Amino acid sequence: MAFAPSTMQLESSAFANHGQIPSKYTGESDNVSPALSWSGAPEGTRGYALICHDPDAPLVKEGQYGFVHWVLYNLPASVTSLEEATDSGTVGLNDGGGDGYMGPMPPEGHGLHLYYFWVLALDAELELPAGLTLSQLLEKVEPHLLGMNRLVGTYQRG
């Protein structure tokens, strides 16, 4: 991925940065995506993509480590927030083999995991097909990346 530091801010009304993700947003409960909002996009932003990744998951797949929980893209620049259980944008594949959001559910006894929610600001409003993997998405958006930032949540299976 291109190095694209940014002053963008990503936050959630559901949890603070480095705070615990409420069970409602996990695979152990309602499994709905949390509300998210972002601000401070770089000048020239025309679209966004969003990713949720757990680097602590013991999985290596397609040359990447961890577990991809959410791949969301084709969000226009006018969208700077997502409601809980959003149906906005176009969904890609998660590492569970499904599309859309798949909430945290680390292996039992595996301890505390960190979940990185990334927002990527793009210089174009891309119209990518549904069902892209994280690798496929990054290949398409990397040439258009203006900036990015993250919100980190934590979760430990009960």
Write out pLDDT tens, residues 107-134.
Answer: 889 999 999 999 999 999 999 999 999 9
Report the half-sphere exposure of 15 (CA within 13 A, side-chain side): 21
| Cβ neighbours of residue 143 closer than 8 Å, sequence gap 6 or more | none
**Consecutive H or E run containing 91:** strand 90-91
Which pLDDT value is given to residue 58? 83
Report residues of the chain scoring pLDDT below 50.
1
Q: Are 133 and 73 in contact (CB under 8 A)?
A: no
Which pLDDT value is given to residue 3? 67
Which pLDDT value is given to residue 103? 96
Q: Are strands 9-11 and 60-61 parallel, antiparallel or unpaired?
A: unpaired
What does pLDDT average to over the chain? 94
Q: Does domain 9-157 have CATH number 3.30.9.10?
A: no
* Bridge partners, 116 (sequence order): 53, 152
- Binning the chain into helix, strand and coil, the percentages to the nearest 5 are 10, 35, 55
In the chain, where are the structural domains located?
Answer: 9-157
- Reduce the DSSP state of residue 53 to 3 states and report it: strand
DSSP-assigned letters across all residues of 48-59: EEEEEEETTSS-
